[in-house]
Amino acid sequence: MNTNQRAITCLEQNKYDEALALFKRAVEESRDVQSLTNLAWIYVHEEEDHGAALALLHEAIALKPASYFPYNLLGEVYLVMEKWQEASDMLVRSLAIQPTEEAYNNLAIARYHLGDIQSAADYFQRSAQPSDYAMYSHIKCLIELGRTEEAKAKLDANSEEDEEFVGQVEMAELYVELDCFEQAIEWFEKGWKLYWKTPDWVGRFVYALLKINEAGRAHEILDEVIQQKAEEIRDANKEAFDDDWTEDEKAEYIQKLAEEQKAYEGLLQRITGGYIPPMKYDTSLRSSCYLFGCERHQHPEYHE
């Protein structure tokens, strides 16, 4: 059993410190595509040390690997660092070797942040499964492109029964973007008891209700969340300090709750005065196992 195989065995057995030491030893023994990529993967996914991973992956890429693993992983690191053009360039190189859903999704993210919404829409579609977050992102891009009929048809086709269903509030958010307020409200109501309440999407719910003259329900949900915040503030004030809960942390938390309560209290007046709560949209990076020699994922060791 070589050093890489021993490292992966230790990782599978949750002997992390031993695994890390062995991955480092593999690099010391031979600075090749496999050892550099595997240690970089550990730095990204276990240590969250993207700077260390970046240096290793640059070295691996300089060896002109025939595998897409280091390209995908470097693209991922660039996305985390918000180096959108570098990520795009690297993921294009990865796709030239072997198309993967992860590379398509992550290339879509890079292109979205570069302002190339058409390209982002196309790549999100290539990575999407029925009703998943990539499909949600694809539809969001279509709306931004003004292709609203196509977006509506694809949104209507999403189903809670699909394995990777994006979520009720996410569905509602897109219907608001399409000015389909009754359908938006249906989905907000489905998610009301399931989601943690935050001012961004609750504000969108209130906005949709007011657009179809359901002011009574808007008052109801605002009263509920304002009361919830008041209770959370009372509970926080009763909490005792300990090693994990300092006085400053408590004060900061209570301040955050008070700001959310204030946001809810002023929401109705702001919306009736013309304010349209913006949609909060975040891209979602996709990753995978890029460890050469990983038996669990049936990855062979690297050979030229």
Q: What is the pLDDT along the chain (304 residues), one digit of tens a residue?
A: 799 999 999 999 999 999 999 999 999 999 999 999 999 999 999 999 999 999 999 999 999 999 999 999 999 999 999 999 999 999 999 999 999 999 999 999 999 999 999 999 999 999 999 999 999 999 999 999 999 999 999 999 999 999 999 999 999 999 999 999 999 999 999 999 999 999 999 999 999 999 999 999 999 999 999 999 999 988 888 777 666 777 788 888 889 989 999 989 989 999 999 999 999 999 999 999 999 999 999 999 998 7
Looking at the structure, tell me whether residues 258 and 298 fall in a common domain: no
Please count the structural domains in the chain: 2
> Does the residue 301 lie in any domain?
yes
Looking at the structure, tell me whether residues 302 and 261 fall in a common domain: no
> Does the residue 107 lie in any domain?
no
Looking at the structure, tell me whether residues 299 and 228 fall in a common domain: no
Looking at the structure, tell me whether residues 5 and 80 fall in a common domain: yes
Looking at the structure, tell me whether residues 194 and 247 fall in a common domain: yes
Looking at the structure, tell me whether residues 213 and 293 fall in a common domain: no
> Does the residue 43 lie in any domain?
yes
Looking at the structure, tell me whether residues 27 and 63 fall in a common domain: yes
User: In this structure, what CATH number is given to the domain that contains residue 49?
Assistant: 1.25.40.10
Predicted pLDDT at 82: 98
Looking at the structure, tell me whether residues 247 and 301 fall in a common domain: no
Looking at the structure, tell me whether residues 217 and 304 fall in a common domain: no
Looking at the structure, tell me whether residues 271 and 302 fall in a common domain: no
> Does the residue 57 lie in any domain?
yes
> Does the residue 147 lie in any domain?
no
Looking at the structure, tell me whether residues 222 and 201 fall in a common domain: yes
> Does the residue 163 lie in any domain?
no
> Does the residue 299 lie in any domain?
yes
> Does the residue 16 lie in any domain?
yes
Domain extent for 215: 180-280
Predicted pLDDT at 91: 98
Asked if 153 contacts 174 with a C-beta cutoff of 8 angstroms, the reply is no
